[in-house]
Amino acid sequence: RKEVEQDPGPFNVPEGATVAFNCTYSNSASQSFFWYRQDCRKEPKLLMSVYSSGNEDGRFTAQLNRASQYISLLIRDSKLSDSATYLCVVSDSNSGYALNFGKGTSLLVTP
């Protein structure tokens, strides 16, 4: 089952660019939404939670559209260190509230 869908990329952008990632989810009962970041061969780490009202953390902005079951992440003024895979994550009440992970979108920021 494809509960969380993301464009796998890769997205290759120059430093300073703005880049947006999108994600759709299939379970309308999902309650919690997150973006995680995963560096190559490392464990995922929480980047930010996503709230209905939208939220911003420095250069990162996350938006949630419950009606369309759509989540987005905007990265402004990209840095080389932003190069990673970004995972869209949605809660699953059917599995003890374990999180369902998308396959990730790969970002490469170039000089």
Partner 1 sequence: DGGITQSPKYLFRKEGQNVTLSCEQNLNHDAMYWYRQDPGQGLRLIYYSQIVNDFQKGDIAEGYSVSREKKESFPLTVTSAQKNPTAFYLCASSILAGISGELFFGEGSRLTVL
Burial 59-76, CB ≥16 within 10 A → b, else e: ebbbbbeeeebebbbebe
**Site stretch for partner 1 (CB under 8 A), options 19-27, 51-59, 64-72, 100-108:** 100-108
Return the number of the residue (73 or 102) whose C-beta is nearest partner 1. 102
Q: Of residues 24-83, which lie at the interface with partner 1 (CB under 8 A)?
A: 31-32, 34, 41-46, 49
Q: How far is the CB of 6 from partner 1 (least distance, A)?
A: 8
Return the number of the residue (63 or 106) whose C-beta is nearest partner 1. 106
Q: How far is the CB of 31 from partner 1 (least distance, A)?
A: 6
How many other β-carbons are positioned within 10 Å of the β-carbon of residue 92?
19
Q: Which tokens is 48 given?
A: 């930010």
Residue 4 contacts partner 1 per CB under 8 A: yes
Q: Which runs of E-coded beta strand occur in 1-111?
A: 4-6, 11-14, 19-25, 33-38, 45-50, 55-57, 60-65, 70-75, 84-92, 98-101, 105-110
Return the number of the residue (19 or 44) whose C-beta is nearest partner 1. 44
Residues in contact with partner 1 by CB under 8 A are 4, 8, 31-32, 34, 41-46, 49, 87, 91, 95-104
